[in-house]
Chain A
């Protein structure tokens, strides 16, 4: 699994991501997990996410639902193998740190 796909979050998903569930908000964490991340995990392709163009924040519920739940499903080792973040900007760095904290919390909540 050496292939890495660059993913411009703002262009390919949304400049303003929503909240947790797709029935409650557009561009939700659930939508991102089911429609985007699952594909990368199933095809075993690395995704490198760039969030620089995102206007608002990737919220706590979005990060927990999208990244936390997929880490619970596939395990932390596989998660770290597939999901990468472009951390060259302050926004990329802070979003990555927040995402990892939400992932760790989700794993802890599920006893993993």
Chain B
């Protein structure tokens, strides 16, 4: 019986050490997850800013069909259209995902009016406001 005491102490230290290692590893995993989320959100914010600047740089003139295709594709990319599916599901709330889904369609509708030179200034302002409002949510 006298010999069992030091062995038990070693066991206890082993368990404590294993538990400590588990906590450290869990915290590192959580930090990586949080870092990935922040990286995604920061990139997305940059893309939203780029979408806004792109639209603000549109001119009040008739665009050729090729120009329209290139510009609308650029805006779609900035709004993560058909892309980043897993990240959107992982890092954006359900309500934000729905707002983004609607935003993609609304922005396209305004862009079609802007590129057709219809109520140019009003529609550029409306797009700018929509993007600003969404930006505040993420």
Contacts and interface: CB of A to CB of B under 8 A. Distances in A.
Whether chains A and B associate is yes
A61 B79 CA distance: 14
A61 B109 contact: yes
Specify the main secondary structure of chain B where it touches its partner: helix
A104 to B, nearest CB: 10
B82 A94 contact: yes
Interface magnitude class on chain B: 20 to 34
A23 B115 CA distance: 12
A20 B73 contact: no
Interface magnitude class on chain A: 20 to 34
22 contacts: A16-B65, A16-B69, A18-B112, A19-B109, A19-B111, A19-B112, A21-B112, A23-B116, A24-B113, A24-B116, A24-B118, A25-B68, A25-B112, A56-B72, A57-B73, A59-B72, A60-B81, A60-B101, A60-B104, A61-B105, A64-B105, A102-B105
Interface of B: 65, 68-69, 72-73, 76, 81-82, 101-102, 104-105, 108-109, 111-113, 115-116, 118
